[in-house]
């Protein structure tokens, strides 16, 4: 009934056992679903530990986002214990156990990434039994070498192990603390509790090797440092400055997922600052980084910072956020720069904005994927910025009914906050939204004969054709923002 253990790496460590009386984790801090999973595995004769972010956050006095369980039971054995359980994953099998509204992730103890698998058949993909953890420097079973040998990425990590091996193969010491349901003790193999108390983020093992095994660990280091307010240990921080290029080979889909974790977790401003400090931001948003290098009067840096601050505030207030708005702010400066270049070459403003948007989005999704359910609303937010400058005739009434009007209006306010000279236009739309019908019509009539809000430029009076029909500014090539 017990999984095979793989002991290729001689891990000799005596864990520090902190009894219940000497730590702050209480069962009252643990979700009912996680406790049910832990107790059922224990009663079935398996080892069962609470591990990872849930343990870390409870010790820090934070509200855990979720709880993960580690056990010596194989995934199929976990499934036998729980009716509402299904197995996921190809690289490594995990069990998801549904208890009420909660989903508890249960993982079998894993061996260290560089373990030598002496008993591969029962626990890994049999295509390459002689190398259970091929890295990018190894030739795969097919004979292909998917990445440069020097990168050393772990391609498969499908070996089970002991609780000790499971602790040492984790990324950060503060995520390698185990709460034992058997006696309610805290088990620490890697010095994680000392790091936690010191506010220190430290990688387990050789930092450069661990980053090469999985470059996304660099983003995780920044995210945890920003979220927890910890400092990254100097030895763990040093490779960040030189290994950012490894992110260029990570799939755009995975980087998109990591981007959401980085910027939509409530600590976006601090995360952004750390990413730029370590030179990692440009590997996620290369065109934004290039635009930041040529900023004028701190724009677009202020726009990006304002957007991230706004996102953090909404999350803190329990309000909804969307990647569409965040991406619109992150890519706005790069898009506007390209659109200006296209206008210089003879394209009108509307066409330039449309074409520049197409180009920037196409380029960006090569780095961080952006699903259409977010890229399309983002493009609508951009396109409406020009329509919001058109405040005569029926156009403002039509714009007001657009499904993305509110998001576009908020984005316009953000641009004004960042220093764009459109405050008069923002004020006009603020009043227009709440005005009665007669007042709205009066505002439109005044705008028709006055100045273009937000530009300070005298609005060109529309000429009339022989038929008496008005020719709009945009049709005559005179559209301003």
H-type helices in 15-132, by residue range?
A: 32-43, 53-59, 75-81
Highest mean pLDDT among 152-156, 219-223, 292-296: 219-223
Q: What is the pLDDT of residue 154?
A: 52
For the stretch 30-75, pLDDT in tens is 999 999 999 999 999 999 999 999 999 999 999 998 999 999 999 9
For every residue of 100-166, DSSP letters joined together read TTEEEEEEE-B--TT---SSGGGTS-GGGTT-SS-BTTSPPTTS---S-GGG--B-----B--HHHH
The structure tokens listed for 99 are 């208890």
Q: How confident is the model at residue 398 (pLDDT cuts 50, 70, 90)?
A: very high
Specify the range with the lowest mean pLDDT, choosing from 72-81, 192-201, 287-296, 423-432: 287-296
Q: What is the rounded end-to-end Cα distance, in angstroms, of the chain?
A: 71
For every residue of 261-288, DSSP letters joined together read HHHSSS-HHHHHHHHHHTT-HHHH-HHH
pTM over 0.85: no
Q: Decide if 409 contacts 429 (C-beta within 8 A).
A: yes
Q: For the residues 137-142, what does the mean pLDDT come to?
A: 38
Q: For the residues 198-220, what does the mean pLDDT come to?
A: 97
Q: What is the pLDDT of residue 454?
A: 42
Catalytic residue chosen out of the listed positions 57, 68, 128, 157: 68
DSSP state of 204: S
**Cβ count within 10 A of residue 309:** 15
The structure tokens listed for 95 are 């069990």
232: helix, coil or strand? strand
**226-256 burial: b if 16+ Cβ within 10 Å, else e:** bbbebebbeebbebbeebbebbeebeeeebb
For the stretch 14-33, pLDDT in tens is 899 999 999 999 999 999 99
The structure tokens listed for 90 are 């190809």
What percent of the chain clears pLDDT 70, i.e. is strictly above it?
80
CA 389 to chain centre: 33
DSSP state of 48: E
DSSP state of 191: S
For the stretch 400-438, pLDDT in tens is 999 999 999 999 999 999 989 999 999 999 999 999 999
Angle, CA of 253, 63 and 60, to the nearest 5° = 105
Q: What is the pLDDT of residue 3?
A: 39
Tally of residues, the chain: 481
* CATH number, span 1-123+158-198: 3.30.460.10
The structure tokens listed for 309 are 């601050």
Distance CA 410, CA 325 (A): 9
Please check the confidence at residue 176 and state whether its pLDDT lies above 70: yes
Q: For the residues 363-389, what does the mean pLDDT come to?
A: 96
Catalytic residue chosen out of the listed positions 57, 138, 171, 312: 171
Q: Decide if 132 contacts 120 (C-beta within 8 A).
A: yes
410 preceded by a cis bond (ω within 30 of 0)? no
Contacts of 362 (CB under 8 A, 6+ apart): none
Please check the confidence at residue 313 and state whether its pLDDT lies above 60: yes
300 preceded by a cis bond (ω within 30 of 0)? yes
375: helix, coil or strand? helix
Distance CA 226, CA 282 (A): 18
Q: How confident is the model at residue 111 (pLDDT cuts 50, 70, 90)?
A: confident
Query: In the chain, what are the helix, strand and coil shares in percent, each to the nearest 5?
Result: 50, 10, 40
Task: Please confirm, yes or no, whether 312 is among the known catalytic residues.
Answer: no
Please check the confidence at residue 233 and state whether its pLDDT lies above 90: yes
Task: Please confirm, yes or no, whether 138 is among the known catalytic residues.
Answer: no
Question: 401, exposed or middle or buried, with CB in 10 Å at 0-12, 13-18, 19+?
Answer: exposed
Task: Please confirm, yes or no, whether 249 is among the known catalytic residues.
Answer: no
Q: Decide if 289 contacts 282 (C-beta within 8 A).
A: yes
Distance CA 92, CA 407 (A): 41
Question: In which residue are the tokens 């373990």 written?
Answer: 115
Mean pLDDT of the chain: 84
What residue ranges do the domains of the chain occupy?
A: 1-123+158-198
Contacts of 302 (CB under 8 A, 6+ apart): 417, 418, 419
């Amino acid at each position: 009934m017990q999984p095979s253990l793989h002991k290729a790496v001689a891990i000799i460590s005596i864990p520090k056992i902190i009894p219940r009386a000497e730590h702050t984790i209480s069962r009252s801090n643990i979700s009912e679903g996680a406790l049910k999973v832990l107790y059922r595995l224990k009663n079935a004769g398996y080892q069962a530990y609470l591990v990872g972010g849930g343990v870390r956050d409870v010790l820090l006095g934070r509200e855990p986002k979720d709880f993960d369980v580690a056990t010596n039971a194989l995934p199929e054995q976990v499934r036998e214990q729980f009716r509402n359980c299904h197995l996921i994953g190809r690289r490594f099998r995990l069990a998801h156990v549904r208890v009420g509204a909660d989903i508890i992730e249960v993982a079998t103890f894993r061996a260290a990434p560089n373990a030598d698998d002496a008993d591969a058949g029962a626990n890994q993909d049999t295509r390459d039994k002689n190398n259970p953890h091929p890295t990018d420097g190894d030739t795969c079973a097919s004979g292909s070498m998917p990445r440069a040998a020097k990168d050393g990425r772990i391609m498969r990590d499908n070996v089970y192990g002991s609780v000790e091996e499971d602790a040492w193969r984790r990324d950060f010491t503060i995520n390698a603390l185990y709460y034992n349901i058997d006696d309610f003790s805290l088990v620490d193999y890697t010095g994680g509790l000392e790091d936690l108390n010191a506010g220190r983020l430290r990688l387990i093992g050789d930092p450069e090797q661990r980053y090469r095994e999985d470059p996304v660990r660099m983003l995780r280091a920044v995210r945890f440092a920003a979220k927890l307010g910890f400092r990254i240990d100097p030895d763990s921080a040093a490779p960040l400055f030189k290994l950012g290029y490894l992110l260029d080979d990570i799939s755009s889909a995975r980087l998109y997922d990591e981007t959401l974790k980085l910027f939509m977790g409530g600590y976006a401003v601090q995360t952004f600052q750390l990413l730029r400090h370590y030179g990692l931001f440009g590997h996620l948003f290369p065109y934004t980084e290039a635009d930041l290098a040529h900023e004028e009067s701190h724009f677009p840096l202020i726009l990006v910072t304002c957007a991230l601050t706004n996102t953090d505030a909404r999350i803190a207030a329990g309000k909804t956020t969307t990647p569409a708005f965040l991406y619109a702010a992150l890519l706005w400066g790069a898009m506007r720069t390209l659109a200006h270049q296209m206008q210089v070459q003879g394209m009108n403003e509307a066409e330039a904005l449309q074409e520049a948007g197409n180009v920037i989005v196409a380029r960006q999704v090569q780095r961080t994927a952006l699903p259409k359910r977010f890229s399309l609303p983002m493009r609508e937010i951009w396109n409406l910025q020009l329509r919001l400058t058109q405040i005569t005739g029926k156009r403002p009434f039509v714009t007001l009914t657009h499904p993305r009007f509110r998001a576009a209006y908020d984005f316009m306010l953000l641009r004004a906050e960042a220093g764009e000279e459109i405050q008069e236009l923002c004020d006009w739309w603020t009043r227009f939204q709440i005005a009665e019908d007669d007042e709205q019509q009066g505002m439109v009539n005044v705008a028709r004969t006055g100045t273009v809000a937000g530009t300070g430029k005298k609005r060109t009076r529309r000429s009339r054709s022989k038929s008496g029909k008005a020719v709009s500014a945009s049709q005559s090539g005179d559209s301003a923002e």
